[in-house]
Amino acid sequence: MLKVRWADWRALPAARRDEILGEAAAALAIMEGAGSAIFSLLGHKGDLLLVHFRQNFEHLGEVQRCLQKLALWDYVEQTSSYLSVVELGLYESTAKVYGGLAERGIEPFTA
């Protein structure tokens, strides 16, 4: 969750705000294709919510570093964060393992 530093943001010339938003929109559009989304928040905890679904922590770290390089990052502050790890259930993981073995030509119940 991010909170906009509104006083600092409004102090910028309109042309600079447009540049910053253009850069951020382009970066977020690329991230959206990889499993990210941005939402407007209602309430007191923030103005924006960024959600990122990635395969591992390394990829999440890349997202974080990319966001920190944006000029917009100078005008927001993180108010909260949440990290969740989702694991495959036993049925799904078993099917994945058996599917991988079948692709390699290994028959069930073979040594």
**Tens-digit pLDDT profile for residues 55-75:** 889 999 999 999 999 999 999
Instruction: State pTM to two decimals.
Output: 0.72
Q: Confirm if 48 and 5 have CB atoms less than 8 A apart.
A: no
| DSSP code string of 29-49 | HHHHHTTEEEEE--SSS-SEE
* Residue matched to tokens 């959206």: 32
Predicted confidence (pLDDT) per residue in 31-48, tens digit: 999 999 999 999 888 999
Arithmetic mean of pLDDT, 80-92: 80
**Which domains, from first to last, does the chain contain?**
2-83 (3.30.70.1030)
| Band of pLDDT at residue 88, cut at 50, 70 and 90 | low
